[in-house]
Amino acid sequence: MLERSSVASLQSSIKAEAGSVHRLNWGCGAHVAPGWINSDIKQTRGIDLVADIGKGLPLASESIDYAVSIHALPELSIPEQVPALQELRRVLRPGGVLRLALPDLAKGIDAYLSGNKEYFMVEEEAAISPGGRFITHMLWHGYSRTLFLADFTAELLEKAGFVDVQECAFEETGSDFEEITALDNRRDESFFIEGRRGFEKAGSRQDPYTSRMPQGSGLQILEMTHATPNDLLRGHFRVEDTEAGLKLIGWALGFDSPVTQVEVAADGQVVARAPIAVARPDIAEAFPGVAGAETAGFQLVLQPSGKGKSQLKIQASLDNGEKAPFGELEVLTVRSARRERRGLFRRRG
């Protein structure tokens, strides 16, 4: 359990790491990182943004300074590679950098030809022969759909519109973003490569977010911040883009007083609220003996009612009457709502 004395130092550490830089950890799986927008198609604990990149990421164009992806692209087929890279390029600011770590087919071939059985992380139950271990490892038991070499990856990045594509060493970068290497791992089996989004001429047209997400909420996230843990509570929320709206899913536990509900306010008016009442066995396991941990979850949906930009403040209501900060979302509509209104959200009656 996180002690109250460590909350302030942890929160300041997260803020220091993130600073004013917006960085995306795409396809992160269980490898979430503080100070990053952790995004994956799967609903894993600690994920901030659940989205299918094939349908588009609910992030505004030019909102991310740099992005990193560690061994996620192999799960996409070859025809899906360039569209996915184009979507990652879309969310980068001009001059922003994408860093990829990918399983190196060349290293696998070298290990196979040299008879280095230890290179392949495959149990004997899955494959015993050198060729079987090589294929099972490179396709990772069938999860991988595309194999990668550095020159092929550079070709894909250039087709997606990236410039200054270059292969980099482990924990080294050719960019000005020193922290872009912070997620590097799997050194022995990977290669690392970066591409930069160029500075387009004024007036150049970027592909709209809605071109890939006709069924989405019509909202883009301009910025996402988390305010937990703090002196009053610990918790987390993630965002999913659905046809009904942006869905916030998360959990919250108070230190001295139970959390009763989570509210979202726009321009000082509550536009959505949800009770803390969803079963979360994972939280109960992580916080044994803490009252309310078994049902510490919540879900709520944000529905746009007009055009514009809104700053949404997410807060938790405690049983003792206090309000605790939970996080903020800055959102923007990307298609017309049914009725024109000032602001994005209706006041909740």
Residue 278 confidence (pLDDT) above 50:
yes
Sign of CA dihedral 154, 158, 162, 163: positive
Mean pLDDT, residues 291-296 taken together: 91
Picking from 171, 190, 209, the residue at the C-terminal end of a domain is: 209
Taking a C-beta distance cutoff of 8 angstroms, is the pair 327, 236 a contact? Answer: no
**Could you tell me if residue 339 is inside a domain?**
no
The residue to which tokens 């909420």 are assigned:
217
Q: Are residues 188 and 228 in the same domain?
A: no
**Could you tell me if residue 345 is inside a domain?**
no
Domain count across the chain: 2
pLDDT at 219: 79
Element (H, E) at 337: none
Mean pLDDT score of the chain, rounded to an integer? 85
Q: Are residues 274 and 154 in the same domain?
A: no
Q: Are residues 205 and 219 in the same domain?
A: no
Residue with the larger pLDDT of the pair 20 and 164: 164
Q: Are residues 36 and 154 in the same domain?
A: yes
Mean pLDDT, residues 109-122 taken together: 94
**Could you tell me if residue 279 is inside a domain?**
yes
Q: Are residues 170 and 240 in the same domain?
A: no
**Could you tell me if residue 302 is inside a domain?**
yes
Helix boundaries (H) for 141-227: 150-159
Q: Are residues 71 and 108 in the same domain?
A: yes
Interval 213-265: pLDDT, tens: 444 667 788 888 999 999 999 999 999 888 878 899 999 999 999 999 999 99
Q: Cα 272 to the chain's mean position, in Å?
A: 23
Report how far residue 232's alpha carbon sits from residue 255's, in angstroms, rounded to the nearest whole number. 6
Among 75-79, 280-284, 291-295, the range with the most confident prediction by mean pLDDT is 75-79
Q: CA 349 → CA 266, 269, 272, 273, 330, distances in Å?
A: 14, 10, 10, 11, 22
pLDDT at 71: 97
Report how far residue 65's alpha carbon sits from residue 97's, in angstroms, rounded to the nearest whole number. 7
Report how far residue 87's alpha carbon sits from residue 54's, in angstroms, rounded to the nearest whole number. 8
Q: Are residues 205 and 215 in the same domain?
A: no
At 96, the pLDDT band (50, 70, 90 cuts) reads very high
pLDDT at 306: 67
Q: Are residues 182 and 228 in the same domain?
A: no
Q: Are residues 140 and 247 in the same domain?
A: no
Taking a C-beta distance cutoff of 8 angstroms, is the pair 307, 253 a contact? Answer: no
Q: CA 325 → CA 168, 196, 234, 291, 296, distances in Å?
A: 40, 36, 10, 21, 16
**Could you tell me if residue 346 is inside a domain?**
no
- List the CATH number of the domain containing 33: 3.40.50.150
**Could you tell me if residue 121 is inside a domain?**
yes
Which residues face 307 on adjacent strands? 342
**Could you tell me if residue 145 is inside a domain?**
yes
Task: Find out whether the peptide bond into 229 is cis, omega within 30 degrees of 0.
Answer: yes
**Could you tell me if residue 5 is inside a domain?**
no
Q: Are residues 285 and 172 in the same domain?
A: no
Picking from 191, 209, 227, the residue at the C-terminal end of a domain is: 209
| Residue-range definition of the domain harbouring residue 278 | 211-333
At 82, the pLDDT band (50, 70, 90 cuts) reads very high
Residue 199 confidence (pLDDT) above 90:
no
Predicted TM-score (pTM) of this structure: 0.74
Q: Are residues 32 and 105 in the same domain?
A: yes
Residue 194 confidence (pLDDT) above 70:
yes
pLDDT at 6: 39
Q: Are residues 37 and 143 in the same domain?
A: yes
